[in-house]
Amino acid sequence: MPVAPDLKFPMKKMTLDKLLQTQGFGTRKACQQMIADGCVSLSGEVVTEYDDYLEPESLVLSINGQAWTCREHLYLVLNKPANYECSRKPSHHPGVLTLLPPVFLARNTQPVGRLDHDTTGMLLLSDDGGFIHRQSSPKHHVPKTYEATTHDPVTPELLALLSSGVKLTDEPAPLVALSCRQLDSHRIEIVLDQGKYHQVKRMLAAAGHHCDALERTAIGRLRLDVLALKPGEWCFLDEAQRALLMPAQ
């Protein structure tokens, strides 16, 4: 499992069983049993007592021989494959949470917004409610970059329409792309900051084009290609990377 040693961890002192519980390893009783069974090591030494107060920031912790970095909150990015649903209760396809370690689910980790089951690319996940709100709230105007593949060839008229605004039936005003450019004969890059439901596909449809494939390639100034994640892979985000998620000041 990836370990990011550069993350700060401001949690207060707590007992080992409580710390393991915050990390998603189960109930206090289950964590106490893990410790009693010799599954937990501190600084290379197996511990069997759980009631000493510890400083999470200074711990060198291992679970079943695997290094574990304690984190107050999880900030993850996943390269979402096709045919996965962004839901804790998926209905027709596997959920994206099945691509994460089970202990993350116990921490109430959830997708930040949603991508359609057939849309691929950059998806944030977290157990920090404040972070989720900042990233998903329309008032923060977080730009998101997509690469869309169109069924018919891209035309100058299509780019002009997306850049000037297209009217959707349930929107009071036309929706305008922050930027739009042609990548090749059937692909465009489009940047949006409104976060409307199925927005790219609906804007293309309103402009007379069908979207055959859609990938989110960036959020804010953080690009998926820089992270070098294959479809289905994920990684932790450090503070510097999280800062890139918001618009430049």
Q: How far is CA 88 from CA 16, 103, 106, 109, 114, in A?
A: 29, 14, 12, 9, 11
Pairing of strands 222-223, 211-219: antiparallel
Nearest-Å Rg of the Cα atoms of the chain is: 22
Residue 116, classified by CB atoms within 10 Å of its CB into exposed (0-12), middle (13-18) or buried (19+), is middle
Number of other residues whose CB lies within 10 A of the CB of residue 2:
9
Phi first, then psi: give them for residue 223, nearest 5 degrees.
Answer: -100, 145
**E strand map for the chain:** 14-15, 40-42, 45-46, 53-54, 61-63, 66-68, 75-80, 110-111, 120-126, 144-150, 179-184, 187-192, 211-219, 222-223, 234-236
Nearest alpha-carbon partner for 104 in 219, 24, 171: 24
Joined together, the tokens standing for residue 94 give 């596997």
The secondary structure of the chain in percent helix, strand, coil, rounded to multiples of 5, reads 25, 25, 45
In residues, how long is the chain?
249
Determine which one of 37, 51, 116, 128 is catalytic: 116
Residue type, 241: Q
Task: Note if 52 is an active site residue.
Answer: no
Write out the catalytic residue numbers: 116
